[in-house]
């Protein structure tokens, strides 16, 4: 059984990461007018100190998990035409969902009490993201008292507190997973957006420098900036993945239009601190190309074995679209789509040509195949 390991500067690291959220997702993606509108629409108007935090999830209970082995969920739903071939039974996946709570009534979501947020977890996060890992192992996905969407546009410091509250739940869920459910098996760590932030922090707090590092198949930190020097460099014994079968490593990408403008993100990334405590000045964001799984480089759309369109309603997931787009990593770590999809694929497009909401959908089948490939490689190397 793994012993709990808390990094000496854990609270400091959490504060750093929370501030990065505010900088990268808040102050740079939108104009000042848009920021004002977003704050009015989404930032809670009451002080967080006046908001009692709802009941904590009891991770010994099935109800505290959005997905568990044997529990019916969309984490096992596959696109039409895709058959579930033999799952790797000897491995697990710990997946952390992105922000789905948009309500300004609270700084943190009740983990089980907001129907809209829970519906988005089921119909978006589990359906289009967690399910991509169902071939590689048994999927565990905790509910947690996530920070509300408006926390990322707050400039009072209360949004930071909401993120810290959320991370405490994720840490407890991971400890429960490792101590009572995983039983020493290899595992994949995965997340997106807010969930990817929590996963990055788990790497620092619980995995790097411990025996868990040797059991980690890979960490899919998707839709979140990861500095090669100041983030990965602070993760003892964990490097960036260099090819499709590397294990014990971290991969990350952020999807942009081929003519997108990530300049503001790059500028604020350089001015923000990494997990090392140092600024990212002169650092480069990790860009793992999900079409060839190399660090950097380019691949044509022929390498894209299946994108999955995001449908707003519940129901079957559409058949994968082969060859939708290629992708190339830019010099400073942004993944540019060589053939950006149009139509419904731009419904949730963010300013600057940011395809953030579609990071998993664009490369769904490639992620599915790669997760299984890495798990099998880990098992072959550790028999």
What are the pLDDT digits (tens) for 260-310? 988 877 877 887 788 998 999 999 999 999 999 999 989 999 999 999 999
Q: Indicate whether 2 belongs to any domain.
A: no
Q: Say if 133 falls within a structural domain.
A: yes
Confidence of residue 31 (pLDDT cuts 50, 70, 90): low
Number of domains in the chain: 1
Q: Is 235 among the domain residues?
A: yes
d(Cα 146, Cα 21) in Å, to the nearest integer? 14
The widest CA-to-CA distance across the chain, in whole angstroms, is 57
Quick one: what percent of the chain has pLDDT higher than 70?
90
Examine residue 78 and state whether it is found in any structural domain, yes or no. Answer: yes
> Considering the domain boundaries, does residue 18 fall inside one?
yes
Own/partner pairs for 279-285, CB < 8 Å, 24+ apart?
Answer: 279/230, 280/227, 280/229, 280/230, 282/229, 283/227, 283/228, 283/229, 283/230, 284/227, 284/228, 284/229, 284/331, 284/332, 284/333, 285/225, 285/226, 285/227, 285/228, 285/252, 285/254, 285/332, 285/333, 285/334
* Within-domain flag for 1: no
Residue range of the domain that includes 322: 10-381
Full-model pTM: 0.91
Using a pLDDT cut of 90, give the percent of the chain over it. 66
Would you say residue 3 lies in a domain? no
Q: Which of 21, 308, 274, 349 is nearest to 153 (CA)?
A: 21
| Residue 193, in any domain of the structure | yes
């Amino acid at each position: 059984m793994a012993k709990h390991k808390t990094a000496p500067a854990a609270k400091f690291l959490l504060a750093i990461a929370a501030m990065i959220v505010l900088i990268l997702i808040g102050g740079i993606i939108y104009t000042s007018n848009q920021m004002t509108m977003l704050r009015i629409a989404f930032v809670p108007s009451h002080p967080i100190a006046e908001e009692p935090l709802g009941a904590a999830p009891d991770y010994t209970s099935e109800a505290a998990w959005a997905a568990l082995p044997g529990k019916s969920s969309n984490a096992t739903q596959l696109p039409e035409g895709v058959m579930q071939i033999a799952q790797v039974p000897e491995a697990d996946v710990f997946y952390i969902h992105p922000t789905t709570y948009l309500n300004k009534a609270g700084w943190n979501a009740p983990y089980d009490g907001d129907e809209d947020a829970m519906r988005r977890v089921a119909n978006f996060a589990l359906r289009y993201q967690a399910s991509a890992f169902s071939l590689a192992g048994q999927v565990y996905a905790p509910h947690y008292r996530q920070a509300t969407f408006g926390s990322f546009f707050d400039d009072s410091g209360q949004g930071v507190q909401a993120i810290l509250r959320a991370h405490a739940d994720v840490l407890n869920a991971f400890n429960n997973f490792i101590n009572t459910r995983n039983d020493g098996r290899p595992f994949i760590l995965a997340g997106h957006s807010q969930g990817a932030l929590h996963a990055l922090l788990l790497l620092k707090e619980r995995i790097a420098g411990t025996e868990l590092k040797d059991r980690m198949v890979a960490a899919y930190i998707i839709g979140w900036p990861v500095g090669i020097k100041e983030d990965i460099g602070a993760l003892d014994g964990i490097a960036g993945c260099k090819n499709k079968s590397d294990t014990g490593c971290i991969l990350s990408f952020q999807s942009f239009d081929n003519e997108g403008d990530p300049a503001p993100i790059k500028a604020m990334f350089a001015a923000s601190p990494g997990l090392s405590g140092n600024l990212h000045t002169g650092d480069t964001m990790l860009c793992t190309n999900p079409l060839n799984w190399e660090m950097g480089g380019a691949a044509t759309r022929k390498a894209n074995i299946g994108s999955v369109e995001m449908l707003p309603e519940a129901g079957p997931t559409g058949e994968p679209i082969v060859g939708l787009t290629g992708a190339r990593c830019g010099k400073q770590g942004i993944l540019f789509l060589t053939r950006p999809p149009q139509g419904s694929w731009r419904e949730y497009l963010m300013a600057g040509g940011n395809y953030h909401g579609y990071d998993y959908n664009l490369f769904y089948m490639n992620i599915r195949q790669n997760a299984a490939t890495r798990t099998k490689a880990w098992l072959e190397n550790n028999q």
